[in-house]
Chains A and B, each alone.
Chain A
Amino acid sequence: MAHDVEVLSGPARVARAALNGYAVAIYIFLFAPIVLLVLFSFNANRYGTFPITGWTLEWYRAAFSDYQVHDAVATTLKVAAQVTLISAVVGTAAAFPLVRSRLPFREGIRIILILPIMIPGLLIGVSLLVLFTSTFHWQLSEETAVIGQAVYTTPFVILLVAARLQGFDRALERAAADLGANTFQRLRRVVLPLIFPAILAGALFAFTLSLDEFIITYFLIGPNNTLPIYIYTQIKFGITPEVNAVATLLLAGSLILLAVAFVLPQLVRRARRLVTSARAA
């Protein structure tokens, strides 16, 4: 890059040094709270803060043997699995017409799709609460929470899959058609495999969003607890090292999932390339 070797004047060098320092400060600001949280989850100190009085796995043991944590983890995974399935299917199906057909009111539809992402989850939560309890007189349950979360996660899947479809070469489909593939075969053997990385990324993204979702779930889940809601009820009584341990586990879970969501599509692509080149050879 040209400006890497640019000869800087004295003041410019000072400016660059100052900005380097500033960037370091920003990274500390971004990471310190999370690093401290993880650190304190291994700290023997009862109060879950400094000073570090020794290292222990006691809080993890306590968390693992707590039946409330067990229940919360089970509920969280059950809800997340359903949300993922719904938003992957609904989102993928909706991405096709969004990209491929000449929709009337395209701009309006785009805004309605972005709205559940942009509008605070709080409003989605309370409006569904009114619909379920006051209009339909339903009991709140895991299922109502699933519906609420799916409203919020599906648009993400639509946007991710639509972006992938946008760059899709339709000549491939025409070629498949010329070779005798019918509609279903073209979809199953040509289109879906090619956009699969985007669907996978969307599904994993939806799963992670669901794991962490708080406010919509808070209104709609009724008597059950997901992990974030369990953590929230515990925080009300102050910081405890057990909560730090549960928090660290949740943190690790969502970071691993998101890393997978972004790395996996690349791996799939690479693996496919290997397979095709092996076949060709």
Chain B
Amino acid sequence: MSASAAAEAAPARDRLPRFASAIGSYVGFLPAVLLLGLCFLVPLGIIVCYSFWETVDYAVVHHWTLDNYRYFFSVSAYVSTMWATLWVAVVATALAIGLAFPFAYWLSRYVPQRFRTILLVLVIVPFWASYLLRVYSWLTILGEQGVLNRFLQWLGITNHPLGIFLYDRPAVILVLIYLYFPFGALTLYSSIERFDWNQLRAAMDLGASPLQAIFRILIPQIKPGIITAIIFVFIPILGEYLTPQIVGGTGGVMIGNLIVNFFQEAEYTRGSAIALLVAAFIVALLIIFRKSLSTKEAYGA
């Protein structure tokens, strides 16, 4: 027994590199390559092809053309929806990050260490709740029978339900801020947390006003965190569908709704062109800001 164990042990040491090559090598990648290759990259490739092909009599013809793109840019409603989407994304991102900054500042500067984790978890809890439900819950607040209207009627400010809160761009922006605030707060907090507050005190001792100290000492140092937060909020908003669909009405349409409409009407080639425009824009952003894409920071893995 002991002899055979010794015989086993000797080659075993040599086997470790082989272990690394058997398990630790590319074999493990195979299922992931199949899944993400066949079901993610290939379909994206097909979308690319479709966007340059034609639909004739509801059938896709493999004839290369730019017509789908020409069509998109020739319809002013589509082009204005594209700009509106960018505008909504910029405004919602700016407001979500803008609101998250004082919060993260408060959490890391004024909250004693032992309460921080629990307060941070409380920020993430709504984020864990179903995405659909978080959008839906705003109907019960902003709708004609909603909490806000009931409250205004109770105060006597109005005697009939107002329809102005829902079904337009402001409602979309409000709900987007609600959806993405936790992302911004978490990312900003994780970089402010490492900041040495003595630097801020030193700046103020040297005569800087508190705001000057924040903008010239704190913000430059947490810039990578701010960029990460912006990217992780801005990109998902570009592909939003549910929020404009549920609270946006006709005034709050975004490019995601356009894409869905095209695909639901089986206009695959035209829909693919719009989808590709969005995908290309996002991939370009990801490549430009790849250094800031620290997944560790964003997902706390």
Contacts and interface: CB of A to CB of B under 8 A. Distances in A.
Given A51-B150, A131-B42, A239-B139, A15 B210 contact: yes
A12 B103 CA distance: 16
A196 interface: no
Given A22-B103, A251-B133, 20 more contacts: A12-B210, A26-B181, A36-B140, A97-B25, A101-B21, A114-B293, A119-B282, A120-B235, A120-B238, A120-B241, A131-B46, A147-B39, A151-B39, A154-B35, A177-B16, A177-B19, A231-B133, A235-B246, A239-B145, A255-B129
B207 interface: no
Contacts of B145: 47-49, 239
Given A33-B134, A179-B9, A231-B132, A93 B123 contact: no
B113 interface: yes
The 4 closest A-B pairs by CB, nearest first: A120-B239, A127-B43, A33-B137, A100-B24
B24 A101 contact: yes
A40 B210 contact: no
A49 B159 CA distance: 17
Give the size range of A's interface with the partner: 35 or more
Contact of A97 (B28, B128, B241): B28
Contacts of B137: 33-34, 36-37, 247
A93 B41 contact: no
Contacts of A19: 102, 105-106, 110
Interface string B169-205: 0000000001001100000000000000100000000
Interface in B1-39: 5, 8-9, 12-13, 15-16, 18-32, 35-36, 39
A49 B32 contact: no
Nearest to B136: A235
Contacts of B83: none
B140 A48 contact: yes
Contact of B242 (A37, A150, A173, A215): A215
Interface string A21-60: 0110011011111101100100000011111000000000
Interface in B106-152: 106-107, 109-110, 112-113, 122-123, 125-126, 128-134, 136-141, 143, 145-147, 150-151
Given A19-B110, A258-B128, A29 B32 contact: no
Contacts of A129: 263
B296 A163 contact: yes
18 contacts: A3-B109, A19-B110, A20-B110, A34-B137, A36-B147, A37-B136, A86-B35, A90-B31, A91-B32, A94-B28, A123-B259, A127-B40, A130-B47, A131-B46, A150-B35, A151-B40, A231-B136, A254-B130
B275 A123 contact: yes
- Most chain B CB within 10 A, of A115, A122, A177, is at A122
Contact of A118 (B35, B126, B240, B282): B282
A173 B239 contact: no
B20 A100 contact: yes
B46 A97 contact: no
Interface of A: 1-4, 11-12, 15-16, 19-20, 22-23, 26-27, 29-34, 36-37, 40, 47-51, 86, 89-91, 93-98, 100-101, 107, 111-116, 118-124, 126-131, 134-135, 147-148, 150-151, 154-156, 158-160, 162-163, 173-174, 177-183, 186-187, 208, 211-212, 214-215, 219, 228, 231-232, 235, 238-239, 243-244, 247, 250-251, 254-255, 258
A3 to B, nearest CB: 6
A243 B132 CA distance: 12
A182 B5 CA distance: 11
Given A20-B110, A86-B35, A123 B239 contact: yes
B130 A250 contact: yes
B109 A247 contact: no
Given A3-B109, A19-B110, A34 B134 contact: yes
A93 B122 CA distance: 33
Interface of B: 5, 8-9, 12-13, 15-16, 18-32, 35-36, 39-44, 46-47, 50, 60, 99, 102-103, 105-107, 109-110, 112-113, 122-123, 125-126, 128-134, 136-141, 143, 145-147, 150-151, 178, 181-182, 197, 210, 235-236, 238-242, 246, 256, 259-260, 263, 268, 271-272, 275, 278-279, 282-283, 286-287, 290, 293, 295-296, 299, 301
Contacts of B27: 93, 97
B28 A33 contact: no
B106 A115 contact: no
A135 to B, nearest CB: 6
B26 A177 contact: no
Nearest to A154: B35
B129 A34 contact: yes
A37 B147 contact: no
Contacts of B235: 118, 120
A128 B9 contact: no
B277 to A, nearest CB: 11
Contact of B278 (A29, A123, A179, A212): A123
